[in-house]
Amino acid sequence: MPVITNIEDLRVLAEKRVPRMFYDYADSGSWTESTYRANEADFQKIKLRQRVAVNLENRSTATKMVGIDVKMPVCIAPVGLTGMQHADGEILAAKAAEKFGIPFTLSTMSICSIEDIAEHTTAPFWFQLYMMRDRDAMARMIERARAARCSALVLTLDLQVIGQRHKDLKNGLTAPPRPTLANIINLATKPRWCLGMAGTRRHTFRNLVGHVKGVSDMRSLAAWTNEQFDPRLSWPDVAWVKERWGGKLILKGIQDVEDAKLAVASGADAIVVSNHGGRQLDGAQSSIEALPAIVAEVGSQIEVWMDGGIRSGQDVLKAWALGARGTMIGRAMVYGLGAMGEAGVTKALEIIHKELDVTMAFCGHTKIETVDQGILLPGTYPV
């Protein structure tokens, strides 16, 4: 086993162990992938100010996200098909997050169901909702999240239409997957993955199959989802979800100041500055570049979080310094899961936490709550 010291080590191992079509699904962006790359690259432009001769005992990265205690300002983002990175992937990631002390968010398009996660964890988790045309199905999904004691609902707003990801088309990643010769040959080189999948009954989108009228298998599911992503989604629908849910509501996919103001007016509890990991509108701003203007406009009225490009604890600290009061990690978690299952997710969280803690110390702080823009070198960060 190689020595794992950073998220990139986990990515390299995941690439070796996860079938190509599923690895590429997670590790790709739309069209030219320029926004996907910018999400990471723009963090690297931001420089830190080192401070010395400060008492650095008793450090803490603990804070709250929508009133929930967290060990660090990080939660696991909703990622579709997580259960195809590793058998029972969502369950394993949720268990790792619970033990570590941060929230886990389950995607609508997960392989393990809401009920699966509730059965295998004790801490309340979060559920991410994609708005579909079938409002009865959406109402039932919200009720299932409530029955599972989910403590927040994350409504994703930037998937009314789906951005084209070239790798998925070339890999035959459809529902059901197209068994190309290249895929079959590639699967033969992943015995660990195949053995794991053979040992679980969770191979389909269990939040939908058997829960939505007319959806009984992958083929009928494919037909349903192709028709169901709702291009009509608008702010009155957000109000409908808020009224139905009644609990903490987080709106994900905000990239523009005007939309941030509308999100505040909707009564949401938090917004996530996110471009869907560069998987939707290619050519859009990176999340970290879009963050400061949104924080300046609405940060005093609502919790602003960010998602996209976080590969280290330093990235988390930079986002916090620019006003994000929480961050979401998707790919960093996926790499850990694909590499080593639950232990890999735990390793990813440990790496990010240690990097966050040590970097905070080098910048002269012992509490994340006291960190502000002052830790950043002027002229190196977006304003």
Note the pLDDT tens digit of each residue in 48-87: 999 999 999 999 999 999 999 999 999 999 999 999 999 9
Task: Give me the pLDDT at residue 176, please.
Answer: 62
Q: 321-364: per-residue pLDDT in tens?
A: 999 999 999 999 999 999 999 999 999 999 999 999 999 999 99
Query: What counts of helices (H) and strands (E) characterise the chain?
Result: 15, 10
Q: Which of 120, 211, 276, 365 is an active site residue?
A: 276
Mean pLDDT confidence for 141-157: 98
- Sorted by sequence, the CB contacts under 8 Å of residue 184 that are 6+ apart come out as none
Mean pLDDT confidence for 357-382: 98
Task: Give me the pLDDT at residue 175, please.
Answer: 63
276 given a catalytic annotation:
yes
Instruction: Tell me what the pLDDT averaged over the chain comes to.
Output: 95
DSSP character string of 109-123: T-SS-HHHHHHH--S
- pLDDT above 80 for 138: yes
Query: Cα–Cα distance between 300 and 318 in angstroms, integer?
Result: 19
pTM of the model: 0.96
Q: Let me know the angle formed at the C-alpha of 26 by 22 and 30, rounded to the nearest 5 degrees.
A: 115
Dihedral angle, C-alpha 274, 277, 282, 288, nearest 10 °? 50
> 316 near 356, Cβ under 8 Å?
yes
Query: Cα–Cα distance between 271 and 260 in angstroms, integer?
Result: 7
- Sorted by sequence, the CB contacts under 8 Å of residue 20 that are 6+ apart come out as 171, 182, 183, 186
Helix (H) or strand (E) holding 52: none
Task: Give me the pLDDT at residue 61, please.
Answer: 98
